[in-house]
Structure 1
Amino acid sequence: MTANAETDYDLEEEVDSHLRRIFYIKPKCDSPKCNPYIVEYFGVLSLKDLRAPERKLWVIYFCKQPELDKTVGEIHQKYGKKNMFDLYRTPVFSGAALRASVKKHFSELKWFTNGNLLEAPPKSHFNDERVVKTITDLHHLEQQRLYNYIMVKHMWFHRYK
């Protein structure tokens, strides 16, 4: 039943609004806050410092798909296009969460983490392949957490249906 005039009365909508008030449930959102069809990406760029070649640097970033080229272009402009290359890029559920997880992991390893820049300590055994493997493992862990959360909610829903 659609309410297209003032005289039309939508009983389902009215009951729904009253039940939401009675049981303190949030009202329905009119429109979704984000577009689910726009993919968010997380990436890592390897950075070579020409002034100090023994330094091992990586730049992490996350952005939505339409802003990907702009974000990578800004990073290239800031650090120099010749000195870096794209090491890792993957679509993620939440780029901010994965970025926080990556920064936390590497800061616990006593790395220098400043903004989006990761720097391995001197005489570190980390190289590009090892950084990619670590970030891939962290991404897999994030996906596993999301899957477990969804499955627990699913089981709870079916148990109390």
Structure 2
Amino acid sequence: MASGVDKSFDDEFETYLHRMFYIKPTEETTKCDPSIVECFGVLSLTDMRAPDRKLWYIYYCKQPEVDDTLNRIFHKYGKKNMCEIFRKPTFSGVGLRARVKTYFSEKKWLVKGNLLEAPPKSLYNNDRMVRNITDLYNEERKMLYTYICMKHDAFSRYYK
């Protein structure tokens, strides 16, 4: 940016929403109902029988259900074999899951249910996986931001 100060997407989005709805910013934080916020996460999975396989498990659930969901996954695959590499709140966990599955299936990965498996001898590791998932997450948020901007423009044209 020209000012030299980088603003995050959240800050820009909040500023735009305040301008769009003519709301004065307040110093207090708004309270969010955690029961309606969805989380999307990725777990790195190590297969003890074939350690050269590169596996990841994707999940989504409501905020209060995260612990139960992770316990169920850990019980199925073993807690020692998994570590969480990504977890973010999202507008639609189902939508982001579909976007992630489509992205990796187009790259000729084995996608079965919630498991993602990289092809043999691929260069993917947890860091590269986090970068790709973060890019997909940011695209999802940008799509929502664009939709709100489009609706605002249509609304403002209608009332002029």
Same fold (TM over 0.5): yes
1: CA distance, partners of 2:84 / 2:151: 37
2: CA distance, partners of 1:47 / 1:111: 15
The Cα of 1:66 is off from its aligned counterpart by 1.2
TM-score, scaled to structure 1: 0.77
Q: Which residue number corresponds to residue 119 of structure 1?
A: 117
Q: Which residue number corresponds to residue 136 of structure 1?
A: 134
Paired residue secondary structure (2:120): coil
Give the letter aligned to residue 115 of structure 2: L
- Aligned positions of 1:1-161 closer than 5 A: 37=33, 38=35, 39-161=37-159
The Cα of 1:94 is off from its aligned counterpart by 0.4
2: CA distance, partners of 1:119 / 1:46: 10
Displacement over 2 Å in runs of 4+ = none
2: CA distance, partners of 1:85 / 1:158: 47
What are the ranges of 5 or more consecutive residues in structure 1 without an aligned counterpart? 1-35
Give the letter aligned to residue 75 of structure 2: Q
Q: What percentage of aligned pairs have identical amino acids? A: 60
Q: 135-144 vs 36-45, which deviates more?
A: 36-45
The Cα of 1:155 is off from its aligned counterpart by 0.6
1: CA distance, partners of 2:83 / 2:140: 25
Paired residue secondary structure (1:82): helix
Q: CA RMSD in A?
A: 0.8
What are the ranges of 5 or more consecutive residues in structure 2 without an aligned counterpart? 1-31
1: CA distance, partners of 2:71 / 2:113: 17
The Cα of 1:76 is off from its aligned counterpart by 0.3
Q: Which residue number corresponds to residue 28 of structure 1?
A: none
Measured against aligned partners, the alpha-carbon deviations of 1:121-143 in whole angstroms (never above 9, x if no partner) come to: 10111100000000000000011
Larger radius of gyration: 1
How many residues are aligned here?
A: 126
